[in-house]
Structures are given as C-alpha cells and as structure tokens.
Structure 1
Amino acid sequence: MTQTSGRLFDELGKLLTDAVGAADGVKKEVEGVMRGQAERILNDLDVVQREEFEAVKAMAQKAREENELLKARIAALEAKLAVDNRG
C-alpha cells in the first residue's frame, strides 16, 4: 500500500508541476496580449511617450530660463537708456 500511495503522490506531484508550468505559460501569454492591446490603445489615443514628454519638458525649462535672462537684460538696458536720456 505504501508503494502504491508513494507512486500516487509522485504522479500527483508531476501533475501539479505540469499544471504550474502551463499556468505560468498562460500567464506570460496573457500579459503579452494585454501589453500589446494597451500599446495599441495608447497609440490610437495619440498619447505621448515618457521619453518625448521628458525631452519637451527639458526644452521648456531651458526656454523659461533663457526668457528670464532676457527679461533681466532688457530691464537693465531700459534702466540704462532712461539714465542716459535724463542726463
């Protein structure tokens, strides 16, 4: 009886191992399909990718900084012009 139950447990173990392997394969396949669907939906919505967003964000920051420098320079030139026109 122990030999029979031992074989039964071995077979059951193999069956469970195969089932876990199959479930893992199905999980990976479902994840791949879901990822593909999500990418298609985002492309259809014309959503910008993170890399593009970060690049534009950096460009905007640089433009803001340059704009502030130019404002300060204009203010200094206007102040100088006002002084020169007085004297």
Structure 2
Amino acid sequence: MQTQNRLLDDFARLMTDAAGAAQGMRREAETIMRAQFERLLRDMDVASREELEVLRDLVATLRTQNDALTARVAALEAALQASRTPGAKTSKPPAA
C-alpha cells in the first residue's frame, strides 16, 4: 500500500513539474514573439500615434487652404470670363 501512494505522489509531482515547465515555456515563447513583433514594427517604420495626429492636423489645415484657393480661382475665372464677354465693360482684372 505504501508503494502505490509513493508512486502516485511521484507521478503527481512529475505532472506538477511538467505543468510548471510548460507555463515557463509559454511565457518564454510569448516574450520572444512580442520582441519579434516589436522589431518587425520598428523595421517597417510604422508611424506613431503622435505622428498621425500631427499629420491629421496638417491635412485639415491644407484642406482649408485648398478650399480657399479653389474659391479664389473660381472668382478670378468668373471675372476673366466676364471681361471677355462682348459688350462688357473692360476693366482691369482684380489685383492678386
């Protein structure tokens, strides 16, 4: 009877050690994978959140300027077209 208990105790200890080793290997694999993923992102030159926010603000400013310039060009084209129509007063184009 003593032999069976000892055998079961040894088997339980072996399983506990195996589970601990498996957890250790899992943690090590996660660490290695995380390091590889971070290296891959660094090598891919991915933009950071701060860089994206700066770019978003820059694009918004440029879009506003583009809209203003588009309106100005449309006004200048309308003035040019009006000055070219027959019977229209000839006047100097607006100063830019």
Structure 1 length as normaliser, TM-score? 0.56
Match of 2:78? none
- Larger proportion of helix: 1
Superposition RMSD on alpha carbons, in Å?
Answer: 3.5
Answering whether residue 15 of structure 2 is matched by residue 16 of structure 1, we say yes
Match of 2:44? 46
User: Larger Cα Rg: Structure 1 or Structure 2?
Assistant: 2
Structure 2 length as normaliser, TM-score? 0.52
Q: Which runs of 5+ in 1 are unaligned?
A: 75-87
Percent identity of equivalent pairs: 38
Q: Which runs of 5+ in 2 are unaligned?
A: 73-96
**1:15–1:51: structure 2 CA closer, same or farther, 3 Å change rule?**
same
**Cα shift at 1:49:** 5.0
**Aligned equivalents of 2:51, 2:16: Cα separation in 1:** 45
Per-residue CA distance 1:16-73 (angstroms, 9 max, x = gap): 1011111111111111111111111111x43435533653466358648x76xx7xxx
How many pairs align? 85
